[in-house]
Chain A
Amino acid sequence: MSAELNLPARPRDASPAKFLKSHMRDYGMLISLLAIVAFFQYMTDGTLLQPLNLTNLVLQNSYIVIMALGMLLVIVAGHIDLSVGSIVGFIGALAAILMVQFNLHFLPTALICLAAGGLIGAAQGYWVAYFRIPSFIVTLAGMLVFRGLSLALLAGQSVGPFPVEFQRLSSGFIPDVFATGGFHLTTLLLCVATPAILIGLSVATRLRRHRFAIEQEPLPLFVAKSAGLFAAMAGIGWLLASYKGLPNVLIIMALLIGLYAFVTRDTTIGRRVYALGGNEKAAKLSGIDTRRLSFYTFVNMGVLAALAGLIFAARLNTATPKAGVSFELDVIAACFIGGASASGGVGRVTGAVIGAFIMGVMNNGMSILGIGIDWQQVIKGLVLLAAVCFDVYNKGKA
Chain B
Amino acid sequence: MNTILEMRGITKTFPGVKALDNVNLSVREGEIHALIGENGAGKSTLMKVLSGVYPHGSYEGDIRFRGAPVAVRGIADSETLGIVIIHQELALVPLLSITENLFLGNERARGGVIDWTAATLRARDLLRTVGLSDPPETPITDLGVGKQQLVEIAKALSKEVKLLILDEPTASLNESDSDALLALLLRFKAQGIASILISHKLNEIAKVADRVTILRDGTTVETLDCHDAPISQDRIIKGMVGRDLADRYPRRAGTPGEILFEVEGWSADHPIHPGRRVVKDIDLHVRRGEVVGIAGLMGAGRTEFAMSLFGRSYGRNIRGTARLNGRAIDVSTIRRAMDSGLAYATEDRKHYGLVLDNDIRHNVTLANLDGVAKAGVIHHEREIEVANDFRRRLRIRCSSVFQETVNLSGGNQQKVVLSKWLFADPQVLILDEPTRGIDVGAKYEIYTIVNQLVAEGRGVILISSELPELLGVADRIYVMNEGALVAEMPAAEASQERIMHAIMSGGAAGARPADGTGPREYPQ
Using a CB–CB cutoff of 8 Å, the interface residues on chain A facing chain B are: 1, 3, 5-8, 11, 208-209, 212, 214-215, 266-269, 271-272, 274-275, 278-279, 281-289, 345-346
Contacts and interface: CB of A to CB of B under 8 A. Distances in A.
A282 B373 contact: no
Interface stretch (B63-71, B277-285, B380-388): B380-388
B369 interface: yes
A208 B351 CA distance: 35
A283 B335 CA distance: 11
A275 B355 contact: yes
Contacts of B386: 1
Contact of A279 (B311, B313, B356): B356
B381 A281 contact: no
B378 A214 contact: no
A128 B386 CA distance: 35
B376 A287 contact: no
Given A212-B385, A346-B357, A272 B369 contact: yes
Interface in B346-376: 346, 351-358, 362, 366-367, 369-370, 373, 376
Contacts of A284: 313, 334
Interface of B: 310-311, 313, 333-335, 338, 344, 346, 351-358, 362, 366-367, 369-370, 373, 376-378, 380-381, 384-386, 388-389, 391-392, 400, 402, 420, 424
A8 B367 contact: no
Given A266-B380, A268-B373, A285 B344 contact: yes
A1 B388 CA distance: 11
Closest 5 CB pairs of A and B: A278-B355, A286-B367, A268-B369, A279-B355, A6-B392
A282 to B, nearest CB: 6
Given A6-B392, A268-B373, A268-B378, A285 B346 contact: yes
B352 A271 contact: no
A276 to B, nearest CB: 9
11 contacts: A6-B389, A214-B381, A267-B376, A271-B378, A274-B358, A275-B358, A283-B366, A285-B310, A285-B334, A287-B334, A346-B357
A179 B362 CA distance: 50
B381 A209 contact: yes
A286 B391 CA distance: 19
A7 B351 CA distance: 30
Most chain A beta carbons < 10 A, residue from B333, B354, B378, B424: B378
A8 B400 contact: yes
Given A271-B369, A279-B354, A345-B357, A266 B392 contact: no
A41 to B, nearest CB: 37
A345 B404 CA distance: 13
Nearest to A398: B404
A9 B65 CA distance: 46
Given A282-B354, A283-B355, A275 B362 contact: yes
Contacts of A271: 362, 366, 369, 378
